Amino acid sequence: MKYRKLGNSNLEVSVITFGAWAAGGWMWGGTERNDAIEAIRAAYDLGVTSIDTAPIYGQGNSEEIVGEAIKDLPRDKVQILTKYGMRWDLAKGDFAFHSADTKGKEIDIYKYAGKESIIKECEDSLRRLGTDYIDLYQIHWPDTTTPIEETMEAVAQLIKQGKVRHAGVCNYNIAQMQEAQEYVNIVSNQVPYSMVKRDIEEDVVPFCLENNASILAYSPLERGLLTGKMKPGYVFAEGDHRAGLYFFTDENVKRTNAFLKKIQPLAAEKEATLAQLVLRWTIEQPGITIALAGARNEKQAVENAWALTIDLSAEELAFISKELSLLRLNKEIGEPVN
């Protein structure tokens, strides 16, 4: 495994970081708790020491699973990345969307990052995670109802208290990052990035490179689309959010698989899966510090970790990018959430 520092901090994280959204079950059609715990532990054994989670993932379930998985591991060898600012238990803030919890109960999700809320969320996360500090604390989505100054000063207070080590943001644009930086040292921005979603290359990537901020790429496998395992006509389980995303229309699955077929010989030459090849390509892109890779069982976790054993030459990276430039997806239905 390789490790990279976040921004100008001393926090080193594994280049492949365990993404624990699916582990929480919410919006993924459920999950098996023991499988998720074993997945995290198997990844750790292969050097994946960093875990990204959030309270909203399963309404606390994901953080509890992470806490259970790491309870017997040396705390200073694990990096916990979690978030705040998405509330399902408080009808206040910037309404995000209507959903169902892991038990099927209808819930409203709000983006809210007021000071009192952040302090409470931090305490709740520490309890669920079974730890006394969070390595990287990230606002989950921008909250238009709360001044950025109030939000970031609350995080700065938590850092001063030792409950948080470093501050990050998620899904922030350049102006929001610049404003947040006025009140606390922002070391990273977690944003969607994959072979089929590369819009951040136009603005966020150049800004982060110039300002020494790290980019944490989430959904690098585009929620399973880029594994090559998705076929037209696939029926998602009840509650799986992917059923409503344009990436997974039959036509887009066909187009993506046609591209993957072109790079399959390179994966075979490397004795790698398509998913491993995609992950390796992702972390070699300019400005991308780490890739968050989710896993719902030990087999998937091990496969993700082994992506770092692949070596890609400049010519091979250029070949993949050239073939990728010919891929066009039809964007007619819903945009992803995270």
Per-residue pLDDT tens for 175-214? 999 999 999 999 999 999 999 999 999 999 999 999 999 9
CA 142 to centroid of chain Cα atoms: 16
Burial class (CB in 10 A: 0-12, 13-18, 19+), 210: exposed
CA dihedral over 53, 57, 63, 66, signed as positive or negative: negative
Q: Determine the length of the chain.
A: 338
- Domains in the chain and their CATH numbers? 3-225+278-310 (3.20.20.100)
Please state, in angstroms and as integers, the Cα–Cα distance from residue 278 to each residue in 14, 66, 220, following that order.
Answer: 17, 26, 8
Residue 219 above 60 pLDDT? yes
User: What residue spans of the chain are helical by DSSP H?
Assistant: 33-45, 61-70, 115-129, 148-161, 174-181, 204-210, 250-269, 274-283, 298-305, 314-324
Q: What is the pLDDT of residues 35-47, one digit of tens each?
A: 999 999 999 999 9
- Choose the catalytic residue: 44, 57, 137, 172: 57
Are the C-beta atoms of residues 12 and 5 closer than 8 Å to each other?
yes
Q: What is the pLDDT of residues 229-261, one digit of tens each?
A: 888 887 877 777 788 788 989 999 999 999 999
* Whole-number Å distance between alpha carbons of 36 and 20: 8
Q: Catalytic site residue 57?
A: yes
Read off the pLDDT band of 28 (50, 70, 90). Answer: very low
Virtual CA dihedral for 94, 222, 9, 142, nearest 10 degrees?
-10
Q: What is the pLDDT of residues 100-158, one digit of tens each?
A: 777 778 889 999 999 999 999 999 999 999 999 999 999 999 999 999 999 999 999 99
* Whole-number Å distance between alpha carbons of 111 and 91: 10
Local structure of 286: helix, strand or coil: coil
Q: What is the pLDDT of residues 270-324, one digit of tens each?
A: 999 999 999 999 999 999 999 999 888 999 999 999 999 999 999 999 999 999 9
